[in-house]
Amino acid sequence: MTTVTEIDAAYALGAPAGRLVPAGGDEALWVAESGAGRPTVFIHGGGPGCTSWTDFAPAVPLFAADRRVLLVDMLNYGFSSAAPIAGPRWTAHARRIAAVLERLGIAGADFVCNSVGGSAAIALAADYPHLVRKMVVTGSEPVARGRAARTPEFSLEGQTAWANYYGGDGPSREKIVSIMGRLEYFDPANVAPDMVELRYLYSLSPGQRLLGEHPAAFGDKEDLAEKLARVQARILFLYGKQDIFVQNSYPVLLSEIAPYADVYLMDEAAHHMEEERPADFTAIVKAFFGSSTSNA
């Protein structure tokens, strides 16, 4: 279980205050809020130590200026509960996120999602359509067809990142720097020391160790082609042109499956463009969402 000392350490490193919100059964997800206006839910990627704060911190103040920002950490990430997932993983995450949003009285929210968070949000939009108005999906791989890394080298490195991080001599700051610089960033020089410290801290949590030491705890692999075809919310597939995990044709393929979808490829951007280019990222996302108060 996460201790008060660990939470205080995260706050000392700049993480926003948050709280555990019941997600069904004995589980709870960590949620941090800021700003006012249309509810806008952020869901993080899946690298060791990732949370919605570590993924979106530079962009959060720009959104919170006129929106109610909710940073949601999925099961086994950040200070959320630690528990193995049984059955299809994205459907399981969606069920827990839906329970949290219902508990908070949130409906018709906009979603900003990176990587595995985007897959969870697609399942959420298909199964709980009243919760989602529009969504931006960045770097996700929800559909098996057409999915291929930019090179075989990066494909292998991405597939083995968790095993390598928790194996051998165990977690370290040096490994976090390598993951961020090689797999997530366009320019490794942009990796910020404070985010390295936070990623390292979060990677030591019970949920992260559960995933790192017991891969079956991730849940069963799940292809979301059928669910994506049912999503009625408009989607922007916003991908980095230099994202090493997918070919540039992949978001176009996703847009052809989804009923209502746009595609934007950002140059000089990789898997975590929201961290490296927060102003450009926010401008694109806000233009897609439209007014923070209207139903447009």
Look up tokens 């999602």; give the residue. Answer: 113
Ordered alpha helix ranges (H), 215-277: 225-228, 250-257, 273-276
> For 216, which DSSP code?
G
If you average pLDDT over residues 5-15, what whole number do you get? 91
Look up tokens 């911190």; give the residue. Answer: 57
What pLDDT digit, counting tens, does each position of 233-261 carry?
Answer: 999 999 999 999 999 999 999 999 999 99
pLDDT given at position 149:
77
Distance, in Å, from the CA atom of 194 to the CA atom of 157, rounded to the nearest integer, reads 24
Distance, in Å, from the CA atom of 119 to the CA atom of 44, rounded to the nearest integer, reads 10
How many of the other CB atoms lie within 10 Å of CB of 5? 7
What pLDDT digit, counting tens, does each position of 54-73 carry?
Answer: 999 999 999 999 999 999 99
pLDDT surpasses 60 at 295: no
pLDDT given at position 293:
60
**Percent of the chain clearing pLDDT 70 (strictly above):** 96
**Percent of the chain clearing pLDDT 90 (strictly above):** 90
Which domains occur in the chain, in start order?
Answer: 4-25+34-234+247-289 (3.40.50.1820)
SS3 of residue 164 by DSSP = helix
Longest dimension (CA), the chain: 52
* Torsional sign, CA 91, 17, 1, 179: positive
Distance, in Å, from the CA atom of 239 to the CA atom of 236, rounded to the nearest integer, reads 9
pLDDT surpasses 90 at 150: no
pLDDT surpasses 60 at 141: yes
pLDDT band at 292 (very low <50, low <70, confident <90, very high): low
pLDDT surpasses 60 at 294: no
pLDDT given at position 5:
85
